[in-house]
Amino acid sequence: MNSWLEKQRSIIDFTIASLLRRKGRNLGLLVVYTAIIFLLASVMLFSHSVKREAQVVLAGSPEVIVQRMVAGRHDLISQDYAEKLKGVRGARNVTPRLWGYYFDPTVSANYTVMVPDDRTIAPKNIVVGEGIARARGAGIGDVLAFRGYDGTLFSFSIAEVLASDSELVSADLMLVSEEDYRSFFGIPDGLFTDIVMTVRNQREVRTVAQKIATALPDTRPILREEILRTYDSLFDWREGMMLVLLAGSVLAFSIFAWEKASGLSAEEKREIGILKAVGWETSDVIRMKFWEGGLVSMFAFLLGYLLAYLHVFHMSAGLFETVLKGWAVLYPDFSPTPFIDGFQVVTLFFFTVFPYTVATIVPIWRAAIIDPDAVMRS
Amino acid sequence: MVRYSTTMLTLLAVGGLAFAASFADARQGRENMHETLLRKQKLVGELGLTDLCLFTEARYTRHLSQADLHTPFQDHPMSLDHFPSGSLVSPPNVVRGYE
């Protein structure tokens, strides 16, 4: 056992010395390799963490939401619909809601304006999310002025700023009273944005949704489980720009790594020839190359993953901010909760470490079985 | 002089320990953020929120789960989705008719 270990250590000594002889080339490879793993691991850790957080946080979202559709678009729904929904067997706590969007030209940002059901907001007062407070540079007691649907100027006093640790769900929220909401957007009494409700028996949610769709054919029921599934496929790796960008860089790296690993330089061939001439066996040469590929890819994996971990969970995924922000002015200032999927990490390991290691061994096997004299002479 | 293999294996061991430590750190981080998550969950329940505030630029990416088939084409029937976030997230399966 000891002699086997000593032999491996000697091969590793030789391998590292050989790598150091081509320092620039191998260091370049390590940096690119690490950068690719960093990028892949960052996307993986970030998207998984946001997905899991969504699952936990949105578990409290409404059980069933009923929207009215007109010509394929979401439209206002009347109080009559709420009365009809109360008549559906199994339906409970039917509550019409008022919410919508407001584009604030002062900071070019979209706000989500809501009338809360759980709290009473005094007329001419608002409760805002931390994102709005930051964008407008305002705090409790400050007055914000917005133009209503007919151009009338409305002044609201900030009564409260929602806690900053809830920014992921509340950064762009502006809570107003029902009276202010209706006069601000010009929505007459008896009309609402949508209706939320709960279902008495959890196992009957889908049945109740079907009953609603039959009783009110111009409505669309949205279930909580559908909301959760929406976030389960968030940043789906199979779609979107993320894949295009990642596929491009992974392909570029694959070509680079394949070229480096499989195309033996004349110097490397000469080295193999000399090793064989001084008594190395073919298996030793292959072992040396295995260590070369294994060490480079293991280092790249560990470095890339650890940097990605620090980036996502200790630096709030700062590099992604510009990508995720798009044209949005309001972006929640949040740190992802460190949810890690071990299976994803193992998959990343296998898909990055193994191909490179194998790619280094195959060509060396071809070179190692040829005559050392021929290699050195060529 | 220290052998290359000793240095290399030590570095690998340190990397392996840091890798394991990242899982322990994540566990600690989740415990620290447990209260915050519960607070967020409570706020979501109280206000009846449905979506994460990740992309505020367009209404169909701000409220992904509430979007209908027409929202990305809000300007006119031939209008293509022009918000950058539209290329990062896909429409919900319910909207695409997969379910």
The residue type found at A346 is V
Domain that holds residue B85: 59-96
Asked if the Cβ–Cβ distance from B68 to A74 is below 8 Å, we say yes
Tell whether A112 lies on the interface with B, counting CB pairs under 8 A: yes
What is the arithmetic mean of pLDDT over A60-71? 91
* A307: number of Cβ within 10 Å: 18
Does residue A204 have a pLDDT over 70? yes
Task: Please give the average per-residue pLDDT across B63-83, as a whole number.
Answer: 74
pLDDT (0 to 100) of residue A292: 86
What's the average model confidence in pLDDT over B77-93? 74
DSSP SS3 for B57: coil
pLDDT of residue A241: 61
Q: Which residue has the higher pLDDT, A11 or A359?
A: A11
B8, A12 contact by CB (below 8 A): yes
Tell me whether residues B30 and A339 touch, CB distance under 8 A.
Answer: yes
Strands A173-175 and A191-192: unpaired
pLDDT digits (tens, 9 = 90+) for A245-255: 677 777 877 78
Chain B residues within 8 A of A324 when measuring between CB atoms: 54-55, 85, 88
Domain-located, residue B74: yes
What confidence tens digit (pLDDT) does each residue in B21-60 have?
999 999 999 999 999 999 999 999 999 999 998 888 888 8
Residue B53 vs residue A259, higher pLDDT: B53
Q: Confirm whether B52 is domain-assigned.
A: no
Least confident of A149-163, A250-264, A272-286: A250-264
Average pLDDT for chain A:
87
CA distances from A311 to A116, A336, A338 (A): 36, 11, 11
User: Looking at residue A325, what is its pLDDT?
Assistant: 76
Residues of B in contact with A328 (CB under 8 A): 55-57, 85
How far is the first Cα of chain A from the last one, in angstroms, to the nearest whole number?
Answer: 39
**Residue A173 parent element (H or E):** strand A173-175
Per-residue confidence (pLDDT) for residue A346, from 0 to 100: 93
Cβ contacts of A329 on chain B, cutoff 8 Å: 56-57
Query: Who has greater pLDDT, B27 or A372?
Result: B27
Chain A CB within 8 Å of residue B37 CB: yes
CA distance B89 to A84: 35
- Sign of the CA dihedral A303, A306, A309, A315? negative
Cα separation of the two ends of chain B:
66
Q: Do B46 and A116 touch (CB under 8 A)?
A: yes
* Beta carbons within 10 angstroms of residue A107's beta carbon: 14
Question: How many beta carbons lie within 10 A of that of residue A89, not counting itself?
Answer: 10
For helices A282-309 and B4-32, give the axis angle rounded to 10 degrees.
30
Is B39 within a domain?
yes
Distance, in Å, from the CA atom of A74 to the CA atom of A244, rounded to the nearest integer, reads 32
Give the number of other Cβ atoms within 10 Å of residue A353's Cβ.
20
A 256-295 near B (Cβ less than 8 A):
295
Residue B12 sits in the same domain as residue B41: yes
B54 within domain boundaries: no
**CA A155 centroid distance within chain:** 38
Domain boundaries, chain A: 2-58+235-377, 63-232
Is the Cβ pair A327, B59 closer than 8 Å? no
- Partner residue opposite B90 with nearest CB, options A220, A240, A313: A240
Choose the closest CB to B48 out of A97, A298, A326: A97
CA distance A163 to B42: 12
* CB burial readout A249-267, b (16+ within 10 A) else e: ebeebeeebeebbeebeee
pLDDT at B98 over 60: no
Put simply, the answer to whether B62 touches A326 (Cβ < 8 Å) is: no
Q: CB-based contact (8 Å) between B41 and chain A?
A: yes
- B48 contacts A196? CB cut-off 8 A: yes
Give the CA-trace dihedral at A162, A163, A168, A170, to 10 degrees.
Answer: -10
Give the model confidence (pLDDT) of A35-60 as tens digits. Answer: 989 988 998 899 889 989 999 999 98
Tell me which of 1.10.10.10, 2.40.50.100, 1.10.10.60, 2.40.40.20 is the CATH number of domain A63-232.
Answer: 2.40.40.20
Give the span between the Cα atoms of A338 and B29, in whole angstroms. Answer: 6
* pLDDT value of residue A304: 95
CA distance A283 to A289: 10
Give the contacts of A259 (CB within 8 A, at least 6 positions apart): none
Chain B interface mutation, best of A34, A47, A230, highest count of B Cβ atoms under 10 Å? A230
Instruction: Give the minimum alpha-carbon distance from B79 to chain A in angstroms, rounded to a whole number.
Output: 15
A155-169: pLDDT as tens digits: 999 999 998 888 999
Question: Is 80 exceeded by the pLDDT of residue A181?
Answer: yes
Please indicate, yes or no, whether residues B43 and B66 belong to a single structural domain of this protein: no
Residue B18 lies in a domain: yes
| Shared domain check, B65 and B92 | yes
Which amino acid is residue A48, in one-letter code? Answer: H
Among A298, A296, A294, CA closest to A286: A294
In single-letter form, the type of residue at position B10 comes to: T
Question: A327-342 b/e with 16+ CB inside 10 Å = b?
Answer: ebbbbbebbbbbbbee
Longest dimension (CA), chain B: 74
Tell me the per-residue pLDDT of A206-238, one tens digit each, with 9 for 90 and over: 999 999 999 999 999 999 998 988 888 777 766
| Inter-chain CB proximity B43 and A170 less than 8 Å | yes
In a domain, B36, yes or no: yes
Any residues with CB less than 8 A from the CB of A195 and at least 6 apart, and which?
A65, A66, A77, A81, A82, A85, A94, A95, A96, A97
CA-nearest of A195, A330, A317, A162 to B61 is A330
The secondary element (H helix, E strand) that includes residue A64 is strand A64-70
Structure tokens given for A31: 């940096």
A97, two tokens = 């809601």
Query: What gap in Å lies between CA A307 and CA A317, rounded to an integer?
Result: 11
CB pairs under 8 A between A and B: 227
Put simply, the chain B residues between 48 and 67 with a CB less than 8 A from any chain A CB are 48-59, 62-66
Q: Which residue, A36, A6, A8, is CA-closest to A252?
A: A36
Number of domains present in the structure of chain B: 2
Q: Which of A17, A72, A117 sits opposite B4 (nearest CB)?
A: A17
Question: DSSP strand E in A217-295: where?
Answer: 219-223
